[in-house]
Amino acid sequence: MNEKLLKPYNPQETEDAIYKKWEESGLFNPDISIQKGFTDADAEPFSIVLPPPNVTGTLHIGHASMLAIEDIMVRYSRMKGKRTLWIPGTDHAAIATQSKVEKDLEKSEGKRKHDLGRDEFLKRVEQFAQNSHDTIVSQIKKMGSSIDWSREAYTLDKERNFAVRTAFKRMYDDKLIYRGFKVINWDPKGQTTISDDEIVYVERKAKLYTFKYSKDFPISISTTRPETKVGDTAVAVHPSDERYKQYVGKEYSFDFAGEPVTVKIVADESVDKDFGTGALGVTPAHSLVDAGIAERHNLPMKQVISEFAKMNVEAKNLKGKKVAEAREIIVEWLRTEGLLEDEKEIDQNIATAERTGGIIEPLPKLQWFIDVNKKFTIPHSEISGISSGSVTSLKELMRAAVADNQIKIIPDRFVKVYYSWIDNLHDWCISRQIWFGHRIPIWYRSTSDTAHPEVYNGMEAPEGNGWTHDEDTLDTWFSSGLWTFSTLGWPNKTKDLETYHPTTVLETGYDIIFFWVARMILMSTYLLGEVPFKTVYFHGLVRDAKGAKMSKSLGNIIDPLDMIAKYGADAVRLSLIIGTGPGNDSKLSEDKIKAYKHFANKIWNAARFVLSMTENTSVAEKPDLAEKDAEAIRVFQDTLKDTSSDIESYRFYLAGEKLYHYFWHTFADIVLEESKSTIYNGDEASKKSAQWTLLHILTESLKALHPFMPFVTEEIWSMMPGTDTLLMVEKWPFDKAQGEPS
């Protein structure tokens, strides 16, 4: 017996060495696995992409949960003999990363990005991103992730930039990408547009004011933002509202807090006549809803708030004021003029930018958009209900991809959430006013018609003088939307792309179903004519022991690296798996992690006992089994059968729990204990039967436990008699097709 087993199991002395052994073997790479004879060249492929962590810092416990779940899938598939590929990478996370560097620059040097200039600032960002990347890779390895590092990608590297430019040009040529002047979400703090999905709503107290614009105006309106009313161009009422029918179509001009305002009364179905006064002051330039009303009724748009959230009007008492200050000035004016009819405190959800915390201002801006409703001819389609050469839209493609279980979503309650989002999807604003990211591949050159410059869209900069590159960069989700196929070599027709796409499964948090999942479906169905993945598995949030969200302010954050240093990666992995079904939030405490450290010790101690009792036993030489041993094998086989079924059905929490309970409470507490008297006191035949049973169950248990606890099982495997290969490429101990152990 190996002398290591005589000492207590120490993950801190073991795990790094084991991971190095895995890496040096090259067997995370399916090509190497085939070359070395561990995988058949024509075996069924299994592929998964790592949701690329943002290069803004370190991994948190949510990332650890993701890595544990994905590594279970990957190790199980590899042991099942599949051509298993797990592609790693990181996301440049444009706004988040730039914001982080800007804050650090101002804090450490008292400088802003414009003080450095675009090129120098980008060097700083890239260095920060590289340092963060190196930390993240180290942490991923600490979790035992069996990733093919030879295929590592980065959303802003040369290959992904080529894919981004190719996708942009194709969509531009199909007239799905356009430049338009529309109301968007503007972050005054970050000085850029953001998408609806990047808004965080914060509940705050607000005042709801009810008033009339002037003493002779016939209708009262209510708002929490009186400062925007200097930009009103209409009042909308419901067509069936008898109170206001006589006013529809009329125009009124008046002075409002020193600013001239003209509004038209319009009838619109979107107005709720039973809410408030049943009349809505329409501010087309500062509300996405109001912009829609203005478009339907051909109303003018008057911008009264600037990009810096200051008043952009001629009224001297308001000009240049911050919006909050302007609000107070206008409310006081309403009081003085006797126009304020009511004010009351309400709870209101305030839109803030996820990355900067700035309060969002809807503003009209010239931006780049993807048209999700425009019809186009799709040249190739493998999507059910969408034939090659048919006329469709991006929205229709996104809906069709999930229909008929072409993409299976686990848990299925998120299917309705996905459809609801698709039904309410409007054109995607893809331009960002930041420096870090994929620059939009558009160039301009002046012509005699200054309003319509010459525009060039191509894969590279145009030849000739006078061209100016568009200053904006693309939304991060544009590049990450290409992730499943750009990482496999697209737009080139590579062997990887042919073999591994569509990917088998996407595993990610349910909180980014719209950010990432939907956009990958959009990009893949449009550019490849196929779904990006066959299954989506959503995990939930990891909360503290009381169910509260982890945060620095609450002091309840559990750092996975600290826990690995204290209890080992296997304990952390199992604590994140057991007790948590797909799509459900989980509760985690240090005590739970500690309990699974005890389980790792239990496996170690059981292995020591079994190997000490079976030194002259070989699992290859099966004796006639005593009835109790045969029954023990049958019970074990049933556990393997159930475990295999659970993993195949993405019930990892059940598979882990069954293996845990079997090994601890059946094998260690019953089978192992009962075998002692037989081995010590039984006849030769019963002794051999008991020894073989112990060694067989231990051997197969190590295989079954390996996807869940790879380090301790690999370490014990290296001490098992007759083993000359890594456990990670051993065959899974149950063959579903045969209905018996493999």
Beta bridge partners of 33: none
* Bond before 362 cis per omega within 30 degrees: no
Average pLDDT over residues 642-651: 96
Predicted local confidence at residue 541, as pLDDT = 83
pTM for this predicted structure: 0.91
Average pLDDT over residues 446-471: 87
Predicted local confidence at residue 447, as pLDDT = 80
Chain segment 686-726, per-residue pLDDT in tens: 999 999 999 999 999 999 999 999 999 999 999 998 888 99
CB neighbourhood size of 457 (10 A): 17
CA-to-CA dists, residue 97 to 108, 197, 436, 551, 580, angstroms:
16, 18, 8, 20, 32
What does DSSP assign to residue 730? Answer: S
Q: How confident is the model at residue 277 (pLDDT cuts 50, 70, 90)?
A: very high
For residue 736, pLDDT over 60 is answered with no
Do 263 and 235 form a contact (C-beta atoms < 8 A)?
yes
d(CA 705, CA 716): 12
**DSSP symbols for 636-685:** HHHHHHHHHHHHHTT-HHHHHHHHHHIIIIIIIIIIHHHHHHHHHHS-HH
Q: How confident is the model at residue 59 (pLDDT cuts 50, 70, 90)?
A: confident
453 vs 147, residue with greater confidence: 147
Do 717 and 702 form a contact (C-beta atoms < 8 A)?
yes
Backbone angles phi, psi at 183, to 5 degrees: -75, 125
d(CA 90, CA 133): 7
Dump strand ranges (E) for 168-310: 177-187, 192-194, 199-211, 221-223, 234-237, 251-256, 259-267, 279-282
Helices and strands (H, E) in the chain, number of each type: 23, 27
CB neighbourhood size of 632 (10 A): 25
Beta bridge partners of 350: 202
Average pLDDT over residues 501-529: 92
Distance between start and end Cα atoms, the chain: 27
Q: How far is CA 219 from the centre of its chain?
A: 47
**Contacts of 572 by beta carbon, 8 Å cutoff, 6+ apart:** 64, 68, 143, 560, 563, 564, 593, 596
Predicted local confidence at residue 552, as pLDDT = 63
CA atoms within 13 A on the CB side of 74: 28
For residue 411, pLDDT over 60 is answered with yes
Q: How confident is the model at residue 553 (pLDDT cuts 50, 70, 90)?
A: low
Average pLDDT over residues 110-137: 94
Beta bridge partners of 428: 370
For residue 282, pLDDT over 60 is answered with yes
Structure tokens at 199: 């808004």
d(CA 234, CA 281): 6
For residue 500, pLDDT over 60 is answered with yes
Structure tokens at 730: 């051993």
Beta bridge partners of 280: 236
Nearest Cα to Cα of residue 357 among 225, 195, 203, 200: 200
Percentage of the chain beyond pLDDT 90 is: 85
Predicted local confidence at residue 309, as pLDDT = 96
For residue 532, pLDDT over 60 is answered with yes
Amino acid at 229: K
Predicted local confidence at residue 148, as pLDDT = 98
Predicted local confidence at residue 58, as pLDDT = 81
Q: How far is CA 494 from the centre of its chain?
A: 26
Predicted local confidence at residue 511, as pLDDT = 81
Rg (CA), the chain: 31
d(CA 261, CA 427): 31
For residue 202, pLDDT over 80 is answered with yes
Amino acid at 657: E
Average pLDDT over residues 221-240: 97
What domains can you pick out in the chain, each with its CATH number? 1-42+588-742 (1.10.730.10), 195-357 (3.90.740.10)
Mean pLDDT, the chain, integer: 94
Do 418 and 425 form a contact (C-beta atoms < 8 A)?
no
Nearest Cα to Cα of residue 496 among 87, 78, 163, 90: 87
d(CA 694, CA 675): 8
Q: How confident is the model at residue 556 (pLDDT cuts 50, 70, 90)?
A: confident
Beta bridge partners of 364: 183
Backbone angles phi, psi at 142, to 5 degrees: -60, -30
d(CA 425, CA 432): 19
d(CA 704, CA 643): 8
**Contacts of 452 by beta carbon, 8 Å cutoff, 6+ apart:** none
Average pLDDT over residues 482-493: 97
Structure tokens at 433: 């006013």
Q: How confident is the model at residue 405 (pLDDT cuts 50, 70, 90)?
A: confident
